[in-house]
Amino acid sequence: MLRVGLRRLFHSTPVLSSAQAAIAAHNAKASGSVASVLAAAPQMYPRKVAGVSPAVNWSLADDRITPAGQAFRNASLSDLVSASWAPSDKDGVLSIPAVSSAAVSSVFLVEGTLPTSALTTPAAGINANASLSLTDYNAVMRSVTGYLSQVPQVWVADGTVGSHRSAETGVRVVSDNSVSSLAAQILLNRIPRVNDPMSFVRSARVFVAPGFAVPADLASKLPKGLSGDAGAVIVNLRSKVAAILGSVSVTLLQQTLSSLGSFASKAPVFFGSIAKNSLIVGRGANSRLLFLAEGPAVSFGFRAATSASPSEGQKVVLRDGVSNTVLQSDAGIASRPNLVKASENVVLTMSNAKGVSKVQKGVSEDDLAALVLASLEGVVLAADAVANARAIARIISSSNVFVSSPQDAQSVSGKESSSDAGFASVLDATRARWATLTAPKADTK
């Protein structure tokens, strides 16, 4: 008797309510694919849906943005391109309309943060020509963040600026379009994709909203130039926040990141015009080197001329900067570019006044270091040669560096020269400087 009672206790059929019984009876009549779906284990909230991530949404709440639609963080290149409004050619190369920096009517510096002259330094990279009161700034930013909260898709680019991992500054760029987010991801140093958005420390924020229109009731109270259709930039150096409204160019975004990064890290942040503006897309023979550049009808990407199948870590040094090629994958990358390594893959290109390009190969690590050093202005050198070498290695390991230009070649040679002769002149001069810096000091005792 006891055994039967225990069997009933542990193996009895659960009692269903009338509503549950009706649902179970209805589901039992299903067949085919519907039956397989109903038979599957229920999917618990939150479901994994592209653009819907509680962690990303909560992190955006710290930026005063509450997404009503989808929110993508550090999206893959394929997703950014597919969501882009920009046209592409038959090879799938994306082109974006170039916007001159002159199209930006005003750069507003929030009053009480720093004097306007502070933004005129080369390290800041941006010139403020107007001021904005703190009250007006708060009103505009509430409107901008409200706009970004309501757009169907908001794109988040998290990364860093800085010449070395020990001196990098976290930056978040929030955009209303995928093209601006793609530009931001290319300009910023990358972070591991596994990085938790809630734990990402960002010292600077940039809101990019070319589709934003100042509300009429607010426009009448704002300074002239901020309420019009022309582009405008608002910079608050105290809180390290900037907003780019209206016309947006790659150069403008680059200058804004440089300005905020310089003041956030208290050290200059340099961007070469090509240095952080390149990506490798695809694998093997289908690989394509993409550049982000300025100019009339500039193509956003073009097939690499140096190799039909660029290799991982290949370095291409152009007259405008250093390009580090990285093979993209769905898993993303976590490592920093390092120009000291893989020197056998370095290709140096110089252009003369006619735009004729010559390729120079076989450049050593020391030669590259010397070229980078020669192109930097105002570099403070230590008395110790070893300390100098380490400092220069840090500069070279950065993706934010400048290299020599044809103008440098002409100034060194003293006369207008071809790209070959100009390159040789620069290389000879910088080799001598590098040798002087790294040579052991003679014992004066």
The stretch 83-100 carries a mean pLDDT of 52
Q: Where are the domains of the chain?
A: 54-265, 278-437
CA distance 257 to 390: 26
* pLDDT tier for residue 409 given thresholds of 50, 70 and 90: very low
Each residue of 150-178: pLDDT tens digit? 999 999 999 887 544 545 678 899 998 88
The reported pLDDT for the residue numbered 142 is 92
pLDDT of residue 314: 40
Nearest-angstrom CA–CA distance, 289 and 324: 10
Provide the pLDDT for residue 431. 55
DSSP 127: -
β-pair type (288-291, 278-281): antiparallel
Q: What digits encode the pLDDT tens for the residues 15-56?
A: 545 655 665 665 555 555 555 555 554 555 556 677 788 889
Least confident of 96-110, 178-192, 195-209, 241-255: 96-110
Residue whose tokens read 């403008």: 252
| C-alpha to C-alpha distance for 12 and 30, rounded to whole angstroms | 26
Q: Is 79 in a helix, a strand, or coil?
A: helix
Q: Which residues are CB-contacts of 256 (< 8 A; sequence separation ≥ 6)?
A: 126, 206, 233, 235, 242, 244
Long-range contacts of 270-274 (CB under 8 A, 24+ apart): 270/123, 270/163, 270/400, 270/401, 270/402, 271/125, 271/187, 271/400, 272/320, 272/321, 272/322, 272/400, 272/401, 272/402, 272/403, 273/320, 273/321, 274/318, 274/320, 274/321, 274/322, 274/323
pLDDT at 261 over 70: no
Q: Express each pLDDT in 275-310 by its tens digit.
A: 333 333 333 333 333 333 322 212 222 222 222 233
Q: Which CATH class is domain 54-265?
A: alpha beta
Q: Which residue type sits at 363?
A: V
